[in-house]
C-alpha cells in the first residue's frame, strides 16, 4: 500500500460516488451489466480447505491419531447439506401391505423357478376352488426369491402412497457437520493443484498469442497471423480440457463405486459454493439487481455511477500500473472474511511430521463487462423461469455469449435457428422499448407469413431445410422396446424401404417432417422420413400411401400433407418466450397480435388494466422524516375529535407510528398524557426538585396544586344535556373532555338509523365498535271478548287488573290494554278485541293465574300469546330501525331501550348494509364419526386456522393454497366475479390434536383475540358466518363461549353424513371446507339481497328463505294476527301451549280441521306455471243454501221457502246481520258468505 502514489485520490473518488448513491438511491441512468464469477470455484474450494476423500474423519479416527493433542488445530469443522428421500407411508401401513401380500399367491409363465417372471394373480371375487386347482403353478409370497419379494413390496407400496398421499416420495434436507483433517497426506490436493496451475499456464499462453495476433495484424504479416491463430486454438483447447479434468475431481468423489468415493466431501464442496453465490447475491441486491445466477457466478446490473475500474500508479518498476475492479475487490474482501482457511497445515518436515499452520484462500472473483445488453427469455408457465438461457452483447454490438437457445442445439428446426440468429440483433435497434419490440416483431411477422401462406414462395428443397428435424439414435432400435417418439417412428419407416440393416448399429441419423394425416393420431406416428422424397416415384407413392393411409396420392403436393398447425405452434412457442411474454411483463402491447398470450398472462393483464382494481392500503400512505412531521404538526389545527384526542390541546396531535406492546399500556399512556396536558396548561412547566430546601418546598407546592386539579378532574360529574341536540352545525367543544366524546356517540346512536345484524335472546351486553343494544320487549297478546268488557259484570277485567297490581304496576287496566282492530285468522269475527302488554318476567311468574282468568266463557279466543320476542322484533322493526323523535330520553347513556321507543324504517330511506360496512370471518365446523374438522378463515389478512381431532397426531393436509386456487379457478370459469372469491395467497396454520378440549380452547382464544385486534387496528367491525353441523346454541354454551361477543350469520348448508371415512379423511375434510369457503361470499351476497327484500336482519335469515316480507307489518293497524306455530328456539316458552286459539268456543269446532291442518304453501316439484290447489267440500249444499243471496247480488230477488230470517237453534228469533249488532249465529252460512259475494260483485 505504501508504494501506491494515487491511493488518496482513488479513495476520495470512491467515497464521493458511494455517498452520492446513498443520498440519491432512486436514479435515472442506464445501468451496467456485469458477469461476476469465481475462477475454478470447485477446485479452489478443494485447495483452500484441503479437501480430499481420505481427510474426512470422525472422532474414532482422530482418537487413534498421534497428532491429536491438546490445542491441536488440525480438525476443521465444515457444514454440508444432506438430502434424503423417504416413503411417506408409516410402519403400520407397510405392515398391513406385507400382511396382505402374505395372503396372496403368485404365478409364473411355465419357466424355471430361477428365471420365472412372477405375476400377481390376486383379484377380488376370485373363486377359492379355482385357486386351489392352480396351486401347482403358484407360489405364496414367502416362497418367492428375496429380490422378487422386495420388488413386489416396493411396487405395492408405491401404488399405495400414490393413492393415499398423492406422491411416492418425500424429500427432506438437514445440515450436517463433518470434520476435515488438515494433516492428511495431500496427494489428492497436490494433483488438483497441479492441474489447476497447468491450466493457468495455458490460459496465460492463450492471452499471449492473442496479443501477438493483434501485432501481426498491424504489420500485415499473414504467415505470423496464421501461426498465431493455430496456437490460440491449441492453447484454448488445452485449457478447456484441463478445465473438464478439474471439474471431474469434484464429481468423481460423489460417484458410487469410485475408488475414492466420499459423499461428505462432495456435499461440503456444493454447500460452500452455494453459500458463496448466495452471499454474493445478497450483496448485489443492496447495490444493484441480480439477473441470472449460475453455479459459479452471477449476472447483475449495477448503477453506472457505481465505482468501477481504477488504475493504481505504483513506485514498483516491474509493475508501474495496476488496474483493479472495485466490484470484484469488494466481493473478494467478503470471500476473505468468510471463507479463508486459517487452519491450513503445510508439511515442513516429513520425518518429524512437523506442519506449518497458515491461512489459505485461493477463491477469487473475476469480473467480465460491462456489456451493452442481455436478452432473457420468459417461461410459458406462470411463476417459473428459464435458467441458463440468455444472449449477451458487447458494447460494439457483437454477441459476447449465447447460451441455451435452440440456435446452438443440434436437431432443432432450421426455421427457429434462422429466426433466433436474426432476432437477437434486432433487439439493439430503436431508442425505446416500443421501437425495439416493433423491430423484433417485423422479423417474427416475416416468418409467420411464410408459415401461414404454406411457404408458397420458396422451393421444396428450401422448405425441407427449414422445417425438417434431425435426431440421432443413441442406441439400437431394439433397445427402445415399446417406447414411442418421432425418431423411433422414422427409424422404423426407414427400415421398411431401406432394409433392416440400417437399424443394426446405433447412431442412426433420422431426418423427418410431420404430416397432418392420418387424422386424430399422435404426432409420434406422423413422422415422415425425408429420404422417401429422394426415392423413385413408384416407391415414394407406395410408402406414402401406406403411411398416410390415403387411397390416391397422384400429383401430391408436399404442402398439402404437412402439419402446418404443428409448425406454427412450435414457432409461436418460440415467439412467446422471446418476444410477446417479455413485452407484456414490461407493459408493452402485444407486438405480434397473431401470437396470443397464455391464459394466466391474459388474466393478469386484464386484472392489472381493470378500472375496478382495488388499491393497496399502502398506496395512501407516504413516509416523511421527523423534522417535516414536526413542522407540519405545528401548523395544523384539530378539525374533529376522536376518543384518542380526549384531553389534548387544539393543536394537531398526529404522531409518528411506533410499536406498542399491549393495549393496556396504550390506554394508560393516553390517560396520563391527557391529565398531564391539562394541568400543564393551568400551571405551566413543573419546576425541578433541586437540592435546597426552598426548591423542595416550591416543587412540593406545585405538586399539591397539580394533585388538586387532577382530583377535581377525576371527580367532575358527567354533564350531559337532557335533550340531544340534533343540529350537527353546532361547533363541538375542542377541549377534548370525555363528556364531549360520549355526547357525540349518543348523538350518532340516537339520530342515525340502526342497521341490525341479528336479534338474539340474551342478557349479555358487550360494548363493541359494532354496538349491541338491549331492547325490553313486552309480552303482547290479544283477547277477543264476545261482549264489551266495559258493560259486562264478569270479573275477568278485574282479575287481570289485580294480577298486574300484584306485579308492581300502578297503572289501571285501561292503560295496560286497549281496544284494537285486527283481522283474525280463518276469517273469524272480531267482537271486542283487546291488546294486552305485560312485562315478560311478570308474564312467566303469573302465567298460571293469567291462563285461569282467560278461560272465561265470554272470551272467544286468545291470539299471539305464543309468539317469541325476537320474532316480534322481526315483524315490528325489520332490519333497519331508529329511535322515535318524540321519544328522546333523559338518561341517554343507558343501553336499555323500550320496545315502543323504536320505529321501523323502510329500505327506501336507508340502504341495508352497504359494501364495506362490515368484515366477515368464516367459521366451518363439521363433526362426524368421532372426528372433528374446524377452520376459521380471516379474509382480511388471509390467515386460516385449522383444528383437526384425530386418534393420532399426524398431519395429512395437502397443499391447501393449491386446492383453494383450483376452486377459485373453477368458479372464475363459470363467470363468478373475482371480488367474490378468495384469490389471494393464504397462510394456513394446521394443528392436529387428540383431545377435543384443546381444540376448543385454542379457537376460543383465537376468536377472542379478534376483538382485541379489531380495537387496536380500528378496522371494520366483525361478524361471523358459521357453517356447522353442531347447533349454534351448543357451541355458544359449552364449546365456543367467545361466539357470544359477535353477531352471527348461520349458513344453512349441510354436508352429507359419514363424510369422514377412510384413511385420507383429512384431505376430504380440507377439500369440502375450501369449497364452502370459496362459496361463502357468493352465498352471503345472495342472502343479503334476500334480506333486503324480506326486510329481516342478516343474522336471522331463515333456513327456508321462501317466506313473506315481514319487516314493518306491526305498524299496520289492520294487520292479520299470526296463527302459525312459531317455536321459541331459545326454549323460553316450553311450558306454554303451542296453539294460540285454545280458548275458542266449542261452537267453533266446525273450523277445527282448517285450523289444525293449515294449507301448504311450499311443495317441492316441477310445475310449468304457478299452481294453487283448492279442496272444496259440500259445494252442492252451499250452492243451495246461498242460491237466494247470489241472485240478490246479481240484481234479482227470488223468495224461497227458507224465509228471511234464520231461526235460532235455541228457540229464539234469528238475528239479522247489521252494522251495530256484532252478534251472529255460529252456523249461519248465508250471512257469512254475504261479505264475500259483495266483494265478488
Annotate 1149-1207 with DSSP letters as a single string: GGGHHHHHSPPP----S--SS--------SHHHHHHHTHHHHHHHHT-----TT-SSPP
What is the dihedral angle through the alpha carbons of 1061, 1066, 1070, 1073, rounded to the nearest 10 degrees? 50
Higher pLDDT, 165 or 817: 165
Q: Three-class SS of residue 209?
A: helix
How far apart CA 698 and CA 694 sit, in angstroms, is 6
CB-count burial class (<10 Å; 0-12, 13-18, 19+) for 1100: buried
663, pLDDT greater than 50: no
Q: Check residue 95 and give its pLDDT.
A: 93
Closest CA to 1156 of 1170, 1174, 1168, 1138: 1138
How far apart CA 797 and CA 147 sit, in angstroms, is 100
Question: Residue holding cell 405395492?
Answer: 156
| Helices and strands of the chain, counted as H and E runs | 36, 35
Q: Using alpha carbons only, what angle is made at residue 1172 by residues 1170 and 1173, rounded to the nearest 5 degrees?
A: 145
464 and 455 Cβ atoms separated by less than 8 Å: no
**pLDDT one-digit tens code per residue, 958-976:** 889 889 988 998 888 888 8
Which contacts (CB < 8 Å, 24+ apart) does range 678-686 have?
678/647, 678/709, 678/713, 679/706, 679/709, 679/710, 681/649, 682/709, 683/709
Q: Is residue 711 domain-shared with residue 838, that is, in the same domain?
A: no
Higher pLDDT, 1011 or 815: 1011
Q: Is residue 864 domain-shared with residue 997, that is, in the same domain?
A: no
Beta bridge partners of 170: 86
**pLDDT one-digit tens code per residue, 379-390:** 998 888 888 899
Beta bridge partners of 818: 835
Say if 491 falls within a structural domain: yes
Q: Is residue 916 domain-shared with residue 1051, that is, in the same domain?
A: yes
Q: Is residue 105 domain-shared with residue 209, that is, in the same domain?
A: no
**pLDDT one-digit tens code per residue, 1113-1132:** 444 444 556 654 444 433 34
Lowest mean pLDDT among 396-405, 760-769, 972-981, 1042-1051: 760-769
Task: Note the residue count of the chain.
Answer: 1241
Lowest mean pLDDT among 77-81, 181-185, 976-980: 976-980
Kind and range of the H or E run holding 239: helix 222-252
Tally of domains in the chain: 7
Question: Residue holding cell 455511477?
Answer: 305
Rg of the chain on CA atoms, in Å: 46
Say if 1230 falls within a structural domain: yes
Q: Check residue 1196 and give its pLDDT.
A: 57
Say if 417 falls within a structural domain: no
Q: Check residue 929 and give its pLDDT.
A: 82
Query: 994 is written with which cell numbers?
Result: 387428540
54 and 347 Cβ atoms separated by less than 8 Å: no
**pLDDT one-digit tens code per residue, 1128-1172:** 433 343 333 334 444 444 334 433 443 444 445 566 677 777 777
372, pLDDT greater than 90: yes
How far apart CA 493 and CA 499 sit, in angstroms, is 9
**pLDDT one-digit tens code per residue, 621-637:** 777 766 566 555 555 43
Q: Is residue 901 domain-shared with residue 914, that is, in the same domain?
A: no
Q: Check residue 551 and give its pLDDT.
A: 79
**pLDDT one-digit tens code per residue, 576-617:** 999 999 999 998 999 999 999 999 998 888 888 776 667 777
Confidence band for 1026, pLDDT divided at 50, 70 and 90: very high
Confidence band for 336, pLDDT divided at 50, 70 and 90: very high
> C-alpha distances in angstroms, 653 versus 629, 632, 635, 836, 1016?
11, 11, 11, 56, 18
3-state secondary structure 151-198: HHHHHHHHHHHHHHCCCCCEEEEEEEEEEEECCCCCHHHHHHHHHHHH
Say if 625 falls within a structural domain: no
Confidence band for 377, pLDDT divided at 50, 70 and 90: very high
Lowest mean pLDDT among 435-449, 461-475, 580-594: 461-475
Q: Is residue 540 domain-shared with residue 487, that is, in the same domain?
A: yes
926 and 1055 Cβ atoms separated by less than 8 Å: yes
**pLDDT one-digit tens code per residue, 125-176:** 444 444 444 455 688 888 888 888 999 999 999 999 999 999 999 899 999 9
**pLDDT one-digit tens code per residue, 68-112:** 888 889 999 999 999 999 899 999 999 999 999 999 988 754 443
Q: Check residue 135 and give its pLDDT.
A: 52
**Contacts with 363 (C-beta within 8 Å, 6 or more apart), sequence order:** 38, 41, 44, 45, 48, 276, 335, 339
Q: Check residue 1195 and give its pLDDT.
A: 60
Q: Indicate the pTM of the whole model.
A: 0.51
What is the dihedral angle through the alpha carbons of 1228, 1233, 1238, 1239, rounded to the nearest 10 degrees? 150
771 and 816 Cβ atoms separated by less than 8 Å: no
Q: Which domain holds residue 524?
A: 457-561
**Contacts with 437 (C-beta within 8 Å, 6 or more apart), sequence order:** 430, 579, 583, 588, 591
338 and 331 Cβ atoms separated by less than 8 Å: no
How far apart CA 464 and CA 1105 sit, in angstroms, is 70
1187 and 1200 Cβ atoms separated by less than 8 Å: yes
* Domain final residue pick, 886, 908, 930: 908
926 and 933 Cβ atoms separated by less than 8 Å: yes
231, pLDDT greater than 90: yes
Say if 1172 falls within a structural domain: no
Q: Is residue 929 domain-shared with residue 1057, that is, in the same domain?
A: yes
Q: Check residue 719 and give its pLDDT.
A: 35
Confidence band for 644, pLDDT divided at 50, 70 and 90: very low
Closest CA to 751 of 849, 883, 854, 858: 883
Neighbours of 1093 (CB within 10 A): 12
Strands, E assignment, 389-496: 390-393, 399-403, 469-472
Lowest mean pLDDT among 168-182, 373-387, 1042-1056: 1042-1056
CB-count burial class (<10 Å; 0-12, 13-18, 19+) for 1238: exposed
461, pLDDT greater than 80: yes
Q: Check residue 1171 and give its pLDDT.
A: 74
Annotate 912-958 with DSSP letters as a single string: SS-TTSEEEEEEEEEEETTEEEEEEEETTTTEEEEEEE-SS------
Neighbours of 1210 (CB within 10 A): 6
**pLDDT one-digit tens code per residue, 803-812:** 444 444 334 3
914, pLDDT greater than 90: no
Closest CA to 366 of 327, 420, 398, 403: 327
Say if 779 falls within a structural domain: yes
Say if 1144 falls within a structural domain: no
How far apart CA 611 and CA 631 sit, in angstroms, is 37
106 and 120 Cβ atoms separated by less than 8 Å: yes
Query: 1075 is written with which cell numbers?
Result: 369449497
Q: Three-class SS of residue 278?
A: helix
Q: Check residue 508 and give its pLDDT.
A: 84
- Over residues 1014-1026, the mean pLDDT reads 70
Pairing of strands 1048-1050, 1021-1028: parallel
Q: Is residue 1035 domain-shared with residue 1006, that is, in the same domain?
A: yes
32, pLDDT greater than 50: yes
Q: Three-class SS of residue 35?
A: strand
Q: Is residue 799 domain-shared with residue 817, that is, in the same domain?
A: yes
113, pLDDT greater than 50: no
Lowest mean pLDDT among 912-926, 1092-1106, 1154-1168: 1154-1168
Higher pLDDT, 605 or 656: 605
Say if 137 falls within a structural domain: yes
* Domain final residue pick, 259, 279, 299: 259
The conformation of residue 651, written as its DSSP 8-state character, comes to B
Q: Check residue 622 and give its pLDDT.
A: 73
1051, pLDDT greater than 50: yes
The winner for highest mean pLDDT among 92-96, 123-127, 1059-1063, 1217-1221 is 92-96
Q: What is the mean pLDDT of the chain?
A: 78
How far apart CA 872 and CA 712 sit, in angstroms, is 47
Give the percent of the chain with pLDDT over 90: 27
Q: Check residue 738 and give its pLDDT.
A: 47
Lowest mean pLDDT among 363-372, 638-647, 691-700, 711-720: 638-647
Pairing of strands 354-360, 509-514: unpaired
454 and 447 Cβ atoms separated by less than 8 Å: no
Beta bridge partners of 249: none
Q: Is residue 842 domain-shared with residue 913, that is, in the same domain?
A: no
- Taking each helix axis from N to C end, the angle separating 222-252 and 263-287, rounded to the nearest 10 degrees, works out to 120
Pairing of strands 341-349, 354-360: antiparallel
**pLDDT one-digit tens code per residue, 539-577:** 888 888 888 888 777 777 888 889 999 999 999 999 999
681, pLDDT greater than 80: no
Q: Is residue 1064 domain-shared with residue 1076, that is, in the same domain?
A: yes
- Over residues 281-298, the mean pLDDT reads 91
Confidence band for 786, pLDDT divided at 50, 70 and 90: confident
Confidence band for 653, pLDDT divided at 50, 70 and 90: very low
Q: Is residue 927 domain-shared with residue 788, that is, in the same domain?
A: no
> C-alpha distances in angstroms, 301 versus 276, 288, 332, 403?
19, 6, 18, 19
- Over residues 767-776, the mean pLDDT reads 65
* Domain final residue pick, 1078, 1109, 1140: 1109
- Over residues 662-666, the mean pLDDT reads 43
Question: φ and ψ at 836, to 5 degrees?
Answer: -115, 140
Amino acid at each position: 500500500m505504501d508504494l501506491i502514489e494515487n491511493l488518496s485520490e482513488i479513495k476520495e473518488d470512491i467515497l464521493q460516488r458511494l455517498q452520492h448513491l446513498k443520498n440519491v438511491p432512486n436514479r435515472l441512468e442506464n445501468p451496467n451489466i456485469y458477469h461476476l464469477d469465481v475462477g475454478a470455484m470447485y477446485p479452489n474450494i478443494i485447495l483452500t480447505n484441503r479437501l480430499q476423500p481420505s481427510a474426512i474423519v470422525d472422532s474414532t479416527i482422530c482418537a487413534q491419531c498421534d497428532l491429536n493433542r491438546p490445542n491441536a488445530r488440525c480438525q476443521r469443522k465444515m457444514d454440508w447439506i444432506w438430502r434424503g428421500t423417504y416413503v411417506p407411508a408409516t410402519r403400520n401401513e407397510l405392515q398391513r401391505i406385507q400382511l396382505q401380500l402374505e395372503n396372496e399367491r403368485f404365478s409364473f409363465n411355465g419357466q424355471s423357478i430361477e428365471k420365472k417372471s412372477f405375476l400377481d394373480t390376486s383379484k377380488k371375487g376370485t373363486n377359492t376352488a379355482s385357486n386351489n386347482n392352480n396351486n401347482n403353478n403358484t407360489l405364496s409370497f414367502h416362497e418367492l426369491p428375496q429380490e422378487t419379494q422386495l420388488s413386489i413390496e416396493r411396487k405395492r407400496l408405491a401404488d399405495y402412497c400414490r393413492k393415499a398421499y398423492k406422491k411416492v416420495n418425500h424429500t427432506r434436507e438437514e445440515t450436517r457437520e463433518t470434520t476435515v483433517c488438515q494433516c492428511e497426506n495431500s496427494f489428492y490436493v497436490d494433483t488438483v493443484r497441479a492441474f489447476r496451475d497447468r491450466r493457468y499456464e495455458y490460459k496465460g499462453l492463450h492471452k499471449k498469442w492473442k496479443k501477438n495476433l493483434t501485432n501481426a495484424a498491424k504489420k500485415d504479416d499473414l504467415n505470423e497471423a496464421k501461426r498465431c491463430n493455430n496456437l490460440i486454438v491449441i492453447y484454448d483447447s488445452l485449457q478447456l480440457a484441463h478445465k473438464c479434468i478439474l471439474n471431474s475431481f469434484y464429481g468423481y468423489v460423489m460417484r458410487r463405486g469410485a475408488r475414492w468415493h466420499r459423499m461428505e466431501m462432495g456435499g461440503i464442496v456444493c454447500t460452500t459454493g452455494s453459500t458463496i453465490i448466495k452471499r454474493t447475491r445478497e450483496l448485489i441486491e443492496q447495490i444493484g439487481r441480480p439477473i441470472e445466477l449460475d453455479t459459479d457466478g452471477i449476472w447483475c446490473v449495477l448503477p453506472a455511477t457505481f465505482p468501477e475500474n481504477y488504475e493504481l500508479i505504483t513506485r514498483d518498476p516491474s509493475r508501474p500500473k495496476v488496474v483493479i475492479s472495485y466490484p470484484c475487490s469488494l466481493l473478494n474482501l467478503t470471500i476473505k472474511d468468510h471463507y479463508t482457511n486459517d487452519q491450513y497445515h503445510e508439511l515442513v518436515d516429513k520425518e518429524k511430521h512437523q506442519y506449518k499452520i497458515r491461512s489459505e484462500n485461493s477463491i477469487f472473483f473475476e469480473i467480465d463487462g460491462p456489456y451493452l445488453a442481455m436478452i432473457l427469455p420468459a417461461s410459458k408457465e406462470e411463476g417459473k423461469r428459464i435458467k441458463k438461457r440468455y444472449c449477451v452483447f458487447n458494447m460494439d454490438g457483437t454477441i459476447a455469449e449465447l447460451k441455451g437457445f435452440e440456435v446452438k442445439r443440434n436437431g432443432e428446426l432450421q426455421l427457429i435457428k434462422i429466426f433466433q440468429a436474426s432476432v437477437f440483433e434486432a433487439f439493439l435497434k430503436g431508442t425505446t422499448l416500443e421501437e425495439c419490440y416493433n423491430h423484433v416483431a417485423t422479423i417474427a411477422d416475416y416468418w409467420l407469413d411464410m408459415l401461414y401462406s404454406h411457404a408458397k414462395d420458396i422451393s421444396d428443397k428450401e422448405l425441407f431445410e427449414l422445417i425438417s428435424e434431425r435426431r440421432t439414435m443413441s442406441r439400437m432400435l431394439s433397445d427402445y422396446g415399446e417406447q414411442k417418439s418421432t425418431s423411433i417412428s422414422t427409424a422404423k419407416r426407414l427400415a421398411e424401404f431401406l432394409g433392416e440393416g440400417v437399424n443394426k448399429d446405433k447412431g442412426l441419423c433420422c431426418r423427418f417432417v410431420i404430416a397432418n394425416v392420418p387424422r386424430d393420431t399422435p404426432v409420434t406416428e406422423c413422422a415422415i422420413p425425408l429420404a422417401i422424397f429422394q426415392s423413385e416415384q413408384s416407391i415414394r407413392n407406395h410408402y406414402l400411401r401406406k403411411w398416410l393411409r390415403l387411397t390416391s396420392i397422384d400429383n401430391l403436393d408436399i404442402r398439402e400433407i404437412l402439419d402446418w398447425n404443428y409448425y406454427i405452434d412450435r414457432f409461436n412457442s418460440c415467439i412467446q418466450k422471446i418476444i410477446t411474454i417479455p413485452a407484456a411483463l414490461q407493459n408493452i402491447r402485444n407486438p405480434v397480435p397473431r401470437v396470443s398470450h397464455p391464459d394466466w398472462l391474459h388474466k393478469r393483464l386484464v386484472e392489472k388494466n381493470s378500472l375496478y382494481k382495488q388499491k393497496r392500503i399502502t398506496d395512501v400512505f407516504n413516509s416523511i422524516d421527523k423534522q417535516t412531521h414536526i413542522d407540519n404538526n405545528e401548523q395544523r389545527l384539530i378539525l374533529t375529535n376522536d376518543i384518542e384526542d380526549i384531553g389534548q390541546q387544539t393543536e394537531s396531535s398526529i404522531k409518528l407510528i411506533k410499536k406498542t406492546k399491549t393495549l393496556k399500556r396504550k390506554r394508560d399512556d393516553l390517560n396520563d398524557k391527557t391529565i398531564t396536558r391539562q394541568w400543564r396548561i393551568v400551571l405551566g412547566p413543573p419546576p425541578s426538585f433541586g437540592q435546597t430546601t426552598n426548591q423542595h418546598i416550591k416543587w412540593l407546592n406545585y405538586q399539591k396544586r397539580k394533585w388538586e386539579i387532577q382530583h377535581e378532574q377525576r371527580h367532575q360529574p358527567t354533564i350531559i344535556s337532557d335533550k340531544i341536540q340534533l343540529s350537527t352545525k353546532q361547533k363541538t367543544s375542542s377541549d377534548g373532555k370525555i363528556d364531549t366524546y360520549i355526547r357525540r356517540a349518543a348523538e350518532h346512536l340516537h339520530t342515525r338509523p340502526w342497521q341490525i345484524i341479528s336479534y338474539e335472546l340474551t342478557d349479555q351486553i358487550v360494548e363493541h365498535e359494532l354496538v349491541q343494544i338491549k331492547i325490553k320487549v313486552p309480552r303482547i297478546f290479544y283477547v277477543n271478548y264476545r261482549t264489551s268488557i266495559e258493560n259486562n259484570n264478569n270479573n275477568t277485567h278485574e282479575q287481570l287488573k289485580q294480577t298486574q297490581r300484584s306485579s308492581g304496576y300502578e297503572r289501571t287496566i285501561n292503560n295496560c290494554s286497549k281496544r284494537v282492530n285486527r283481522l283474525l285468522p280463518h276469517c273469524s269475527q272480531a267482537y271486542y278485541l283487546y291488546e294486552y302488554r305485560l312485562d315478560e318476567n311478570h308474564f312467566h311468574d303469573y302465567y298460571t293465574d293469567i291462563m285461569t282468568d282467560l278461560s272465561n266463557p265470554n272470551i272467544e279466543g286468545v291470539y299471539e300469546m305464543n309468539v317469541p320476542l325476537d320474532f316480534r322484533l322481526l315483524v315490528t322493526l325489520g332490519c333497519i330501525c331508529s329511535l322515535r323523535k318524540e321519544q328522546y330520553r333523559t338518561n341517554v347513556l343507558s343501553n336499555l331501550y323500550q320496545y315502543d321507543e323504536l320505529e321501523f324504517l323502510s329500505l327506501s330511506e336507508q340502504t341495508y348494509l352497504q359494501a364495506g360496512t362490515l368484515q366477515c370471518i368464516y367459521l366451518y365446523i363439521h363433526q362426524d364419526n368421532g372426528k372433528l374438522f374446524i377452520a376459521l378463515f380471516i379474509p382480511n389478512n388471509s390467515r386460516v386456522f385449522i383444528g383437526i381431532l384425530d386418534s393420532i397426531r399426524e398431519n395429512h393436509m395437502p397443499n391447501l393454497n393449491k386446492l383453494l386456487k383450483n376452486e377459485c379457478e373453477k368458479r372464475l370459469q363459470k363467470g363468478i366475479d373475482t371480488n367474490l372469491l378468495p384469490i389471494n395467497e393464504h397462510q394456513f396454520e394446521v394443528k392436529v390434536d387428540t383431545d377435543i378440549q384443546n381444540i376448543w380452547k385454542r379457537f376460543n382464544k383465537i376468536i377472542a383475540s379478534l376483538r382485541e385486534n379489531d380495537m387496536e387496528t380500528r378496522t371494520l367491525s366483525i361478524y361471523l358466518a358459521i357453517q356447522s353441523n353442531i347447533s349454534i346454541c351448543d357451541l355458544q354454551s359449552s364449546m365456543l363461549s367467545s361466539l357470544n361477543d359477535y353477531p352471527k350469520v348461520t349458513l344453512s348448508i349441510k354436508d352429507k353424513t359419514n363424510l369422514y371415512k377412510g384413511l385420507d379423511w383429512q384431505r376430504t375434510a380440507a377439500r369440502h371446507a375450501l369449497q364452502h369457503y370459496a362459496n361463502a361470499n357468493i352465498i352471503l351476497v345472495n342472502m343479503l339481497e334476500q334480506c333486503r327484500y324480506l326486510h329481516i336482519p342478516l343474522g336471522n335469515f331463515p333456513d327456508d328463505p321462501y317466506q313473506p316480507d315481514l319487516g314493518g307489518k306491526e305498524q299496520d293497524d289492520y294487520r292479520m294476527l299470526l296463527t302459525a306455530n312459531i317455536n321459541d328456539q331459545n326454549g323460553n316458552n316450553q311450558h306454554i301451549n303451542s296453539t294460540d286459539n285454545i280458548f275458542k268456543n266449542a261452537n267453533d269446532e266446525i273450523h277445527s280441521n282448517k285450523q289444525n291442518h293449515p294449507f301448504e304453501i311450499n311443495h317441492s316439484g316441477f310445475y310449468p306455471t304457478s299452481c294453487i290447489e283448492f279442496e272444496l267440500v259440500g259445494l252442492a249444499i252451499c250452492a243451495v243454501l246461498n242460491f237466494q243471496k247470489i241472485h240478490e247480488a246479481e240484481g234479482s230477488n227470488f223468495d224461497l221457502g227458507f224465509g228471511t230470517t234464520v231461526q235460532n237453534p235455541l228457540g229464539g228469533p234469528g238475528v239479522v246481520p247489521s252494522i251495530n249488532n256484532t252478534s251472529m249465529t255460529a252456523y249461519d252460512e248465508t250471512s257469512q258468505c254475504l261479505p264475500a259475494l259483495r266483494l265478488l260483485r
